Structure 1
Amino acid sequence: MGIESDTNIVSNELEAFTITRIEAEQPKCIALFAVGRGGNPARHHHLLQTMANRSCTVIAPHFEMLASSVPTKAELDMRIHRLEASIDSCAYSNLPIVGIGHSIGATALLALQGAEGETLDGQQLITGATPRLERLALLAPPTDFFRRPGALHRIKMPMKIWVGAKDTITPPAQSRFLMDVLAAQASVAVQVDPDAGHFTYMDELPPNVPEPHPDRNTFLAGLADEITAFLVA
């Protein structure tokens, strides 16, 4: 079983920030988790604990909540920097590193891997210097940041995407765009969950958000198993 999560402070050249770490007893990989707009990975606790229980040590940086559903370049760049510093904190390990991200966290992971993203007002995001994640599991990813031709040419790792058929924020068409663009260079699978919305993938919903799924707890238990199986394959 994974131990209870531990929080500590990690520093990069710009700042110090909080990171949650959940150790697996006999880890097969390190899973870098990138949370969505709210910024608190504890809202995905069941998923993270399941991964630790199934041989994935989890590292999950914390972020301030985004002020708007349309993030700025500075906000996204800061998240990418923190994700990179979180990987650096595991430099002692020879274990493979995989990534999992929900919503805007998926955008940050793609940029970390070298995707050339742009904000909606045309400002270019920073990108990771060297792709370091061996697999990506993405939940409800926003992909409009990567519409420029060639923006995804460096993305070559296996990827699986889960998206809700009832997601009105990042609908399935955004995930299918990613699959279509990457078809010639990477193994990408998209699973459309018929009863899920954008926030169904969270243990704790944002305030005043209705849940379309009739049995979210059962759905999340199965989802955690599917994600973990993909990441440790």
Structure 2
Amino acid sequence: MERVVLFAVGGGGDPVRHQPLLDAFEARGCRVIAPAFERLHPRQATWDDYLARPLGLVEALRDVDPGAEVAVIGHSIGAWAALCLAGATPWSEERRPLDVPRDPRVSRLVLYTPPAGWFAAPGALDAVKTPMLVYVGELDTFVPASEVEVLKAAPAELDLRIVPRAGHFSFVHVPPPGMDEDPAFDRDRFLDRMVDDTVEFSLR
């Protein structure tokens, strides 16, 4: 059976920033689907802007066999969208559940810095049974490590890794300009291991 990997990019919208990761999957014979999106600005974004991410991911899988298993890897808002596809229900600031698309083909999740606060409501993660490998940076100021702890409520296998000295963009091979790393963080060494572990987990 064809091995399919769906990559869900973060707010910048350009999956090329993660090219070494995508190349590693292609080298293993996987079909890699990595749609680009318009840049998302959280302070100006509407619900329609957020909803466009999971909708776009489902659309990208349109010609994938209905019986296929799809490993989904996502960074930041892409990780949020991946959780939606796997059954998570985000809640609005007004404490109302939001309707998002699902996809039963999701077989594995690898999430880098997922903004999990959307899923803090009781029962929001009850339908997520997909095994998850989750990374968050110890120094992430966009998605604090404590926020990601909410994913422990899901009835799924969870490998949660808090990466010492890492920030929000430590998981991106080409980070946005001006994003400095902590001097104690060995970025290249970490990314090499992250790619290896992501591929291994996704293809189990």
Tell whether the structures are fold-level matches, with TM greater than 0.5. Answer: yes
Q: Distance in 1 between matches of 2:161 and 2:121?
A: 24
TM-aligned CA deviation for residue 46 of structure 1: 0.8
Counterparts of 2:14 and 2:22 in 1: how far apart (Å)? 12
Cα root mean square deviation, aligned: 2.0
Where do residues 101-116 of structure 1 align in structure 2 (5 Å cutoff)? 101-116=74-89
**Same amino acid, percent of matched pairs:** 36
Given that 2:86 and 2:103 are in contact with CA atoms closer than 8 Å, whether structure 1 keeps it comes out as yes
1:225, CA displacement in angstroms?
Answer: 0.3
State the secondary structure of the residue aligned to 1:221: helix
Distance 1:28 1:202 in 2: 27
1:71-86 map, 5 Å: 71-86=45-60
Counterparts of 1:206-217 in structure 2, within 5 Å, are: 206-212=176-182, 214-217=185-188
Q: Does 1:58 align with 2:41?
A: no
Q: Determine the structure 2 residue equivalent to 1:230.
A: 201
1:197 to 149, 167, 178: 167
Q: Could you list the runs of 4 or more consecutive aligned residues of structure 1 that deviate by over 4 angstroms after TM superposition? A: 121-124
* Unaligned segments of structure 1, at least 5 residues: 1-26
Equivalences for residues 148-187 of structure 1 within 5 A = 148-179=121-152, 181-182=153-154, 185-187=155-157
* Pairing partner for 1:90 from 42, 64, 71: 64
**Change over 3 Å in CA distance of 1:80–1:165 after alignment to 2:** same
The aligned length equals: 203
Q: Deviations over 1:46-98 (max 9, x none)?
A: 11111211233210111010123574210111111110011113238x54211
AA of the residue aligned to 2:176:
P
Gaps of 5+ in 2: none
1:138 and 1:160 in contact (8 A); partners too: yes
